[in-house]
Amino acid sequence: MALHEIALERRTLHGHFSRELEPVVEARSGDAIRFATLDAGWGLEPPRLDGSDRRQFEPRDPELDEGHALVGPVAVAGAQAGMTLEVRIETVRVGSYGLTVAGGWPSPLNDRLDVSSGDSRVLAWELDADAGTGRDQDGRTVTLAPFLGVLGMPPPERGVHLTGPPRAWGGNLDCKELVAGTTLYLPVPVDGALFSAGDGHARQGDGEVSSTAIECPLDRVELGLVLREDLDLGAPVARTPDSWIAFGLGETLDAAMGDAVDGILAVMGRELGLERRDALALASVVVDLRVTQVVNGVLGVHAVLPDGAIGTAG
């Protein structure tokens, strides 16, 4: 297994998904990649509470770098559309600052809560990676649980694609469960895979209701990349140290919920040998549905099956 170090520089950064992007490195199945990230908004410093603009990474293309600051893409040798990419999340270490914003732009949830039209509220966080804590400007503290909001590959169609909406091949999933120690399984949409990652979150609640988590740079990320030909997926699945997770994505929560349930039934069939009707009945007893996020245009629900939830007699 080789470890590929990816420098944080103009050559390795992009703000869109496209199958036409040139890979910054080629890894083999079983290799690992190590890199740092900017915060999602391309920032180079903490937010300024006086309202002035903060320094951002330059140069940037106003169209091609409109989205999250992503590192990659990484080509995986031998990857073919239809395979599965296993992403082993080994290390996610936060940088020194973070920010959370409420209001200031329109979204369906902000409009409903009547917080989209006035001045935005910014929380500026000081992050301590060693202590695993964050402190805002008013002295409020939270325990950190850092993860990458974006882990994914481009759609199979040519052209430029936004980084905001999550897709079957990953991307902006914004799932707080994808911390170090978790493995994410993604359907490969294009030959070579062309995997990218970014959008550091120091902590987030299910739903990400203000449209932001604690958005932060990441000082160090380490991911293992493994090709799987024995796993046929139509949507993302994850394995945590104590559970299986299936992701559903849709224009409505009902649609996302249906896909999440369908995904976890497939997991229960594959991992537990359950017939689909039995799996559905048992899922109603032991599976939890959680709202992943409601702010990315495409809504997310994830179904969680805890280990050991279903025992057998004897």
Q: Is 102 within 8 Å of 115 (Cβ atoms)?
A: yes
User: Can you tell me the distance from the alpha carbon of 31 to that of 28, in angstroms, rounded to the nearest whole number?
Assistant: 5
- What does DSSP say about strands 218-228 and 97-102: parallel, antiparallel, or unpaired? unpaired
pLDDT values of the chain reduced to their tens digit, one per residue, 314 residues: 899 999 999 999 999 999 999 999 999 999 999 999 999 999 999 998 887 889 999 999 999 999 999 999 999 999 999 999 999 999 999 999 999 998 765 566 666 766 665 668 899 999 999 999 999 999 999 999 999 999 999 999 999 999 999 999 999 999 999 999 999 999 999 999 999 999 999 999 999 999 999 999 999 999 999 999 999 999 999 999 999 999 999 999 999 999 999 999 999 999 999 999 999 999 999 999 999 999 999 999 999 999 999 998 76
Residue 79 near residue 85, CB atoms below 8 Å: yes
Q: Does residue 236 contact residue 256 with C-beta atoms inside 8 Å? A: no
> And the tokens for 234?
């139509």
Quote the pLDDT of residue 106: 58
Residue pointed to by tokens 């590959």: 153
Structural domains in the chain plus CATH codes = 3-75+88-163+194-228 (2.60.120), 242-306 (3.10.28.20)
Q: Are 26 and 2 in contact (CB under 8 A)?
A: no
* Residue 1, pLDDT score: 83
Residue type, 215: E
Burial class (CB in 10 A: 0-12, 13-18, 19+), 5: exposed
